[in-house]
Amino acid sequence: MEIVGILAFVVALLFSVMVHEFGHFLTARKFGMKVSEFFLGFGKRLWSFTRGETEFGIKAIPAGGYCRIEGMTPQDQMPEGEEGRAFIAATSLKKLIVLGAGSFAHFLLGFILIFSIFFAVGFQALIPDITEIAPQSAAQSAGFKVGDRILTIDKDEVNNWAKDSKKIGQSEGREIVFTVKRDGKILTLSAAPKYIESEKRYVLGVVTKIGIKREGFIPSIKDASTATWALGKESVKSLVTLPTKVPQLIRQTFMGEERDPNGLVGVVGAARVSGEAVGSQNLSGNQRLQTFILIVASLNVFVGLFNLLPILPLDGGHMAVAIADEIRALFARIRKKARPVPIDVNVLTPITMAVFVVLALLTAVLLVADIINPISLNF
Tens of pLDDT along 347-373?
888 888 998 898 889 888 888 888 888
Residues 6+ apart with CB under 8 A from 286: 121, 122, 124, 212
Span 7-61, pLDDT tens digits: 999 999 999 999 999 999 999 999 999 999 999 988 899 999 999 999 999 999 8
Place 374 in a pLDDT band, splitting at 50, 70 and 90. confident
Average pLDDT over residues 225-243: 94
Residues 6+ apart with CB under 8 A from 74: 88, 341, 342, 344
Query: In this structure, are residues 20 and 98 in contact, taking their beta carbons and an 8 Å threshold?
Result: no
Alpha helices, DSSP H, located in the chain: 2-30, 92-116, 138-142, 161-164, 166-169, 217-254, 267-279, 285-306, 315-334, 349-372
pLDDT above 90: residue 151: yes
Q: Tell me 121's DSSP state.
A: I
pLDDT above 90: residue 64: no
Span 161-202, pLDDT tens digits: 888 999 998 889 999 999 999 999 999 999 999 998 888 889
Range scoring the smallest mean pLDDT among 17-31, 218-232, 251-265: 251-265
pLDDT confidence of residue 278:
85
Give the span between the Cα atoms of 318 and 313, in whole angstroms: 7
Which among 356, 331, 328 is positioned nearest to 343, based on CA atoms? 328
The ranges assigned to domains in the chain are 1-34+70-122+216-379, 124-213
CA atoms within 13 A on the CB side of 60: 3
Query: Higher-confidence residue: 276 or 148?
Result: 148
Strand, coil or helix: what is 55?
strand
Q: What is the pTM of this model?
A: 0.86
Indicate the average pLDDT of the chain: 91
Give the span between the Cα atoms of 57 and 48, in whole angstroms: 4
pLDDT above 80: residue 378: no
Give the sign of the dihedral formed by CA 359, CA 110, CA 40, CA 50.
negative
* Phi, psi (deg, nearest 5) at residue 252: -70, -30
3.40.50.300, 1.10.287.3510, 3.40.50.720, 2.30.42.10: CATH of 124-213: 2.30.42.10
pLDDT confidence of residue 367:
87
Q: Taking the CB of residue 318, how many other CB atoms lie within 10 A of it?
A: 20
